[in-house]
Amino acid sequence: MSDFEGIRALVTGGASGIGRATAELLAERGAQVAVLDLDPSSVDKPLLAYRADVTDDASVREAVAAAVADLDGLDVLVNNAGIGAQGTVEDNSDDDWHRVYDVNVVGMVRTARACLPHLRASAHAAIVNTCSIAATAGLPQRALYSATKGAVYSLTLAMAADHVREGIRVNCVNPGTVDTPWVGRLLDAAPDPGAERAALEARQPTGRLVGAGEVAGAIAYLASPLSGATTGTSLAVDGGMQGL
C-alpha cells in the first residue's frame, strides 16, 4: 500500500472501534489525522481530536473548520460515526427512526457538506463511508439499522456521480460483524455473552469476527491513490458472509 505522506484526513467516530483503527492506521502510514467524535477524550497524539455531534450541523461545521485549519487543508474524509438499532418495524418508534437516521445518514451528509469545499482543493480527494452488509443482506431484527445503511449505500453512489468530475472519489466499505466496543456492548447485554459471541462467530464462514484493523485496511485502500480509478463502489469486509 502506498503511504499517506502529505495526506490530511478527517475520521468521524474516530475515538472507538473501526474509526479508531482507521485513524491509527492512516497516521502510522504518514497521514495527518483529525478525529471528530462525540467523546474524543481518549484520543492521543499524533491524532488531533475535535468534539462534535454529527446530528448538530453547527458543531460539525465548527469542528471541520478547526480541523481543516490545523491540518492546513483536507484530502480524505472517513464518514464513519454511526449507532445501532435492533428490532422489527413494530419494535421501533417514529422517534427511534428519526434519531438513528439523523446520526447514520444525515450525520454523513452534514459532515460531507462541511468538507466538500476543502476536498475540492485537494489533488487526492476521497470520501469513504462506513456502510454495512446490513444494507443488502436482509438481516433479521435490524429493520431500522439496515434501512439507514441502505441509505448510506445509495448516498455513496449518488455522491460519487455528483463529484467525480470535481476529482472527488466516493466509496463505501460494507463490514460484517466487527469486533469493536459496539459489539462488545451488544454481547454484554445478552443473557449469556459467551454463547452469544460463539453464535456470532459460528455465523462467520471464517469462524471469527472481523477485526477493526481489517476494516481500516479496506478504508485506507479506498482512501489512497492505489484506488484512484475507483468511485461509487462498495467493498465487503465480512469474512465471506455476503457470499452465503
Select 19 or 231, whichever has its Cβ closest to ligand NAD: 19
Binding site for ligand NAD (CB under 6 A): 12-13, 15-19, 37-39, 52-55, 80-83, 103, 107, 130, 132, 175, 177-178, 180-183
Select 117 or 181, whichever has its Cβ closest to ligand NAD: 181
Select 124 or 216, whichever has its Cβ closest to ligand NAD: 216
Distance separating alpha carbons of residues 81 and 61, to the nearest angstrom: 15
Distance separating alpha carbons of residues 52 and 193, to the nearest angstrom: 32
In whole angstroms, the minimum distance from the beta carbon of 191 to ligand NAD comes to 20
In whole angstroms, the minimum distance from the beta carbon of 110 to ligand NAD comes to 10
Cα dist. 186→68, 86, 96, 207 in Å?
Answer: 35, 10, 18, 19
Q: Which of 50, 145, 153, 221 is catalytic?
A: 145
Distance separating alpha carbons of residues 112 and 114, to the nearest angstrom: 5
Distance separating alpha carbons of residues 158 and 129, to the nearest angstrom: 12
C-alpha cell at 146: 439496515
Which residues does 72 contact at the CB level (< 8 Å), separation at least 6? 8
In whole angstroms, the minimum distance from the beta carbon of 244 to ligand NAD comes to 16
- State yes or no: is 145 an active-site residue: yes
Q: Are 26 and 4 within 8 A, CB to CB?
A: yes
Q: Are 86 and 141 within 8 A, CB to CB?
A: yes
Select 24 or 53, whichever has its Cβ closest to ligand NAD: 53
In whole angstroms, the minimum distance from the beta carbon of 215 to ligand NAD comes to 7
User: 210 pairs with which residues across the strands?
Assistant: 178
Catalytically active residues, by annotation: 145
